[in-house]
Amino acid sequence: MRLAKHLAHAGVASRRAAEELVFDGRITVDGAVVTDPARDVTGSERIELDGERVGSISAVRVVYALNKPHGVVSTAADTHGRQTVVDLVRAPGSRRLYPIGRLDADSTGLILLTDDGDLAHKLTHPRFEVPKTYRVTVGGPSLRDGVVRRLREGVELDDGRTAPASVKRLANHELEITIREGRKRQVRRMCEALGHPVRELRRVRFGPLELGPLREGASRRLTPKEIESLRAASGGEPSK
């Protein structure tokens, strides 16, 4: 198995993030620094991250839902000392949790954290098209039918045209938008491109999972049934 894949399955990080850890020289195999994420490993080696041994692959993974408050960053650690989503979730034992995807610091709502790197990869990779739904309050003039139609059909951004989205107008300045892409600050940029700067943005749904009554800053561990529903939404096989 490739080293990055082993790290992801061991719950260290998503596969993409695991590759970055390797590139940064933070992983050692049997005492030697390895910078090639494609290096083959069997799992019997002593693999360490920053000097701490990485556990063997576990059959039991956890996923937590967090209602992210404003100002909290969606990373495992922050070089500027800001509070992170990981700081708000207390997992049992020494499990390392990592956020599944991102919500920018100014946004609030549902974000998932897990030690299941493979599931995180499938839920965030554009190929799997897992839908995410946002409630958005915008500035500018009252929302007109033409703006809603353009959001639905796709908006031309500096990194290309967005895919069609599901859009509901809830009020003169409020929308519900569901996208299946994961571009950086995508919903904000879509609205701003049409003359409606975003005032508030809250994610209310990730795949089949809804935010529900979870209070801001609180988290809860997902049930096995909820995790299986996420796995199914990403096209993954149910766990045995």
Examine the residue annotation and report whether 104 is marked as an active-site residue of this protein.
yes
Alpha-carbon separation of residue 180 from 79, 125, 189, 196 (angstroms): 30, 10, 15, 21
Catalytic residue among 36, 87, 104, 106: 104
Pairing between β-strand 32-33 and β-strand 219-221 as defined by DSSP bridges: unpaired
Please write the tens of the pLDDT for every residue from 157-177: 999 999 999 999 999 999 999
CATH number at residue 33: 3.10.290.10
As a whole number of angstroms, the distance between CA 5 and CA 92 comes to: 24
- Provide the whole-model pTM: 0.75
Beta-carbon contacts of residue 55 (< 8 Å; ≥ 6 apart): 10, 11
Q: Which amino acid is present at 83?
A: Q
Domain that holds residue 137: 131-206
CB 23 within 8 A of CB 37: yes
CATH number at residue 110: 3.30.70.580
Do 13 and 72 belong together in one domain?
Answer: no
Which of 53, 71, 86 is the last residue before a domain boundary? Answer: 53
* pLDDT greater than 70 at residue 26: yes
Do 85 and 193 belong together in one domain?
Answer: no
Do 96 and 202 belong together in one domain?
Answer: no
- pLDDT for the residue numbered 54: 80
Counted domains in the chain = 3
Do 109 and 217 belong together in one domain?
Answer: yes
- pLDDT for the residue numbered 80: 87
Do 196 and 146 belong together in one domain?
Answer: yes
Mean pLDDT of 63-88: 92
- pLDDT for the residue numbered 164: 95
Do 44 and 88 belong together in one domain?
Answer: no
CB 165 within 8 A of CB 179: yes
Q: Is 191 a member of any domain?
A: yes
User: pLDDT over 70 for what percent of the chain?
Assistant: 94
The span from the first CA to the last CA of the chain, in angstroms, equals 20
Please write the tens of the pLDDT for every residue from 196-222: 999 999 999 999 999 999 999 999 999
